[in-house]
Chains A and B, each alone.
Chain A
Amino acid sequence: NAGVTQTPKFQVLKTGQSMTLQCAQDMNHNSMYWYRQDPGMGLRLIYYSASEGTTDKGEVPNGYNVSRLNKREFSLRLESAAPSQTSVYFCASIPVGGGNTEAFFGQGTRLTVV
């Protein structure tokens, strides 16, 4: 099983450029999440989608947009990248909405904005 797949794995952007981070899961999970990981700050929730057709802001949504394209795919878009968005981005999925179930993570996308 592929689990949670993120693309690309690495990306370098210039300030002001846009890009979309892709995430797909093949486990038929309902809920999907986008996090950013920065040294000393743990994982901070950017956006999440409790189920297909719904999205909600997390802790640090500014500068990002998301699309829950279908049950499998949840993309994260940076419209105008800034150096402060340099980070490692993780996508995760959970079988049902939150609660006591385990989250499954992708391998991450390392993004550098210069």
Chain B
Amino acid sequence: AQSVTQLGSHVSVSEGALVLLRCNYSSSVPPYLFWYVQYPNQGLQLLLKYTSAATLVKGINGFEAEFKKSETSFHLTKPSAHMSDAAEYFCAVTGSGRDSSYKLIFGSGTRLLVRP
């Protein structure tokens, strides 16, 4: 069964500082991994996805994530936070095997606060 764990329900950074949001996954099959962002009172939108083509994945709005199989991690980073990055971020996993490829499972989310 697949699962994801996001460490830290809230992360606070200063504007211009590095953003690091942590995600660890568990999967019995090679996973596909995603980061989604949710702005207040909205649905989720895709930031980036890992599909095994490259371990370093670049997404929208300057975010990127690195897949590390040895650490079962897929942490999200951005070199310099902007006020508009304040939102909730979700890591998600789905499997590549027939029995698991249809379940898209989310972590509990991390709310990013950006201080002026």
Q: Is B42 on the interface with A (CB-CB < 8 A)?
A: yes
List chain B positions with a Cβ less than 8 A from chain A.
Answer: 6, 9, 32, 34, 36, 41-46, 49, 51, 90, 92, 94-96, 100-109
Q: Are B45 and A50 in contact (CB under 8 A)?
A: no
Residues on the B chain within 8 Å of A79, using CB: none
List chain A positions with a Cβ less than 8 A from chain B.
Answer: 4, 31, 33, 35, 40-45, 48, 50, 56, 58-59, 90, 92, 94, 97-100, 102-103, 105-108
Given contacts A98-B95, A98-B101, contact A43 B45 (CB under 8 A): no
Chain A residue with the shortest CB-CB distance to B50: A100
Number of interchain pairs (Cβ within 8 Å): 71
Chain A residue with the shortest CB-CB distance to B95: A98
Chain A residue with the shortest CB-CB distance to B110: A42
**Cα distance, A45 to B45, chains bound together (Å):** 17
**Cα distance, A37 to B103, chains bound together (Å):** 16
| Contact sample, A vs B, 17 pairs, CB 8 Å cutoff | A4-B43, A35-B106, A40-B108, A42-B6, A42-B90, A50-B102, A59-B105, A90-B44, A94-B104, A98-B95, A98-B101, A99-B94, A103-B34, A103-B92, A105-B43, A105-B44, A108-B41
Residues on the A chain within 8 Å of B46, using CB: 102-103
**Cα distance, A107 to B9, chains bound together (Å):** 23
Residues on the A chain within 8 Å of B108, using CB: 40-42
Residues on the A chain within 8 Å of B43, using CB: 4, 90, 105-108
**Cα distance, A108 to B49, chains bound together (Å):** 23
Q: Are B104 and A103 in contact (CB under 8 A)?
A: yes
CB distance from A94 to the nearest CB of B (A): 7
**Cα distance, A105 to B36, chains bound together (Å):** 11
Chain A residue with the shortest CB-CB distance to B106: A43
Residues on the A chain within 8 Å of B106, using CB: 35, 42-45
Q: Are B103 and A58 in contact (CB under 8 A)?
A: yes
Chain A residue with the shortest CB-CB distance to B9: A40
